[in-house]
Amino acid sequence: MKGKILLLVVIAVVLGLAIAGCAEKKPSETPTPTPAKKETPVSTPTPAPTQPQVEKVVVGGTLSLSGKFANEGKLSLWGIQAALKWINDVHGGVNVGGKKVKLEFKYYDDESKKETVQSFYERLVTVDKADVLLAPYSSGLTLAAAPIAEKYGKLYVSHGGASDRIFEQGYEYVVQVLSPASKYQSGALDLIKSIDPSAKRVALIYEDNEFAKSVFRGAKEHAEELGFEVVFDKTYPKNPTDLTPLLSEMKAANPDIVLGGGHFADGQLLVTQMADLKVNAKFISIIVAPALPKFYEALGTRAEGIAGPGQWEIGVKYSPEAAKQAGLEYYGPTQEEFLKYFHEVAGEDVQPDYHAAEAAGAILAIAKAIDTAGTTDSKALRDTFSKLEFMTFFGNFKIDPQTGKQVGHEMVLFQWQGGKKVIIWPPEAATGEPYYPIPTWEEKEQGKLATK
């Protein structure tokens, strides 16, 4: 037993000596010396990684280049292209992170169909990587694509969707550039109230679509507020081919004032068949159709005296001087410059109407917001839009911060006189006097014009 204990002690001593020897043995590799004090090295340290710089900003949208809204869609495209000429070629692009970059517009033809817009807007966000979305033309198409913008959290700027209902859905990223639909026919009623207190009977005849229903709901409310009697208030189906039964019924109501329309094709048909049936009134104001030069080209003297509300007309007095007097910043081209750029893209024989101007105004508003925010982040841009108040050649811009609805821009009322559009309301924007009462259809058949 003692022998075993002695053996264990010997083994323990040997192991202890071996471990101590290993601890004293120097390693084969050269040890790292303690750094001595020395001067700061002159080499530049590696910078922290940064995100790739933005090379361009993409605004994506659809336009109705075919189908029922083709006329409005083509004018909108030319207006956008004219605005981009100023933004990129004159202004130098938009400010993103302190650097000016080009603004690009990526678009598809939605064929004036609700069925196509949602898939196109999905593509614009997921494939084309659009930074900002420009809404389609018309209230119906604007409403159809709005959920896509909300789904992806993309700013969605409306240039041709005027229906008040768009801004009653609680959407976070929808912003409006044009005046809302409920204000479209207010100017016509205000004008008649001011020049002919005896005119009391109002007829409303309009297309059964979201935009028109908003317009004439607002018109009816305003007419009743002013003391007019609404003696006729009926809709007709979309894409009508014959309005004579409805017009015969309206004629029997004997209105002093007729307010009507929806979009271009039905508006032209409405006036044509009013002429055929000799439905006379002291004043006629039709939405959308009379704004386009093709309206007069198609109707000739039948168009004389016909009025229409417009978001803008050539000759309106929005300018850097007007902005200064109003205490606002002016942004974008002057009206003369816009007309120059428009003719460069559309041709000298094409005149812009408010569809071209409001589309250009939307692109300018997007550029102004990006310049101000210095980013394309949707949340930052929406917050910036809520605070912006400025003027462009299209007019004033200011939105309701909660809904995104336009509250700064004002409508004008024009009238065809002697083959030209003359702004007749409001007085501060007017370029001429109203012709009232308008010539009868029988007088116009004899060549009478709405000129004094």
pTM, entire model: 0.79
pLDDT digits (tens, 9 = 90+) for 129-176: 999 999 999 999 999 999 999 999 999 999 999 999 999 999 999 999
Query: Is pLDDT of 367 > 90?
Result: yes
Instruction: Give the span between the Cα atoms of 37 and 371, in whole angstroms.
Output: 50
Would you state the pLDDT for residue 24?
37
Predicted pLDDT at 42: 42
Q: What angle do CA 152, 153, 158 make, to 5 degrees?
A: 105
Confirm if 442 and 431 have CB atoms less than 8 A apart: no
Q: Which helix (H) or strand (E) holds 330?
A: strand 329-330
Residues in the chain: 452
The token pair that represents 1 in the structure block: 């037993």
CA–CA distance from 386 to each of 87, 109, 363 (Å)? 22, 30, 17
Could you tell me how far CA 338 lies from the centroid of its own chain? 17
pLDDT value, residue 435: 98
- Predicted local confidence at residue 46, as pLDDT: 38
The span from the CA of 318 to the CA of 392, in Å, is 7
Q: Which of 146, 145, 141 is nearest to 160 (CA)?
A: 141
Please give the Cα distance from 199 to 183 (Å, whole number): 20
From CA 37, how far away is CA 43, in angstroms rounded?
17
pLDDT digits (tens, 9 = 90+) for 294-303: 999 999 999 9
- Dihedral, CA of residue 210, residue 216, residue 219 and residue 225, to nearest 10: -100
What pLDDT score does 72 carry? Answer: 93
Identical topology for domains 56-179+316-397 and 183-310+418-445: yes
Mean of the pLDDT values across residues 34-57? 51
Q: What digits encode the pLDDT tens for the residues 110-126?
A: 999 999 999 999 999 99
pLDDT tens column, 378-421: 999 999 999 999 999 999 999 999 999 999 999 999 999 999 99
Cβ-based burial of 377 (10 A; exposed 0-12, middle 13-18, buried ≥19): middle
Cα three-residue angle 378-383-384, rounded to 5 degrees = 95
User: 183-310+418-445: which CATH topology?
Assistant: Rossmann fold (3.40.50)
- Domain residue ranges of the chain, discontinuous segments joined by +: 56-179+316-397, 183-310+418-445
pLDDT tens digits, one per residue of 310-337: 999 999 989 999 999 999 999 999 999 9
CATH of 56-179+316-397, one of 3.50.30.30, 2.40.50.140, 3.40.50.2300, 3.40.50.460: 3.40.50.2300
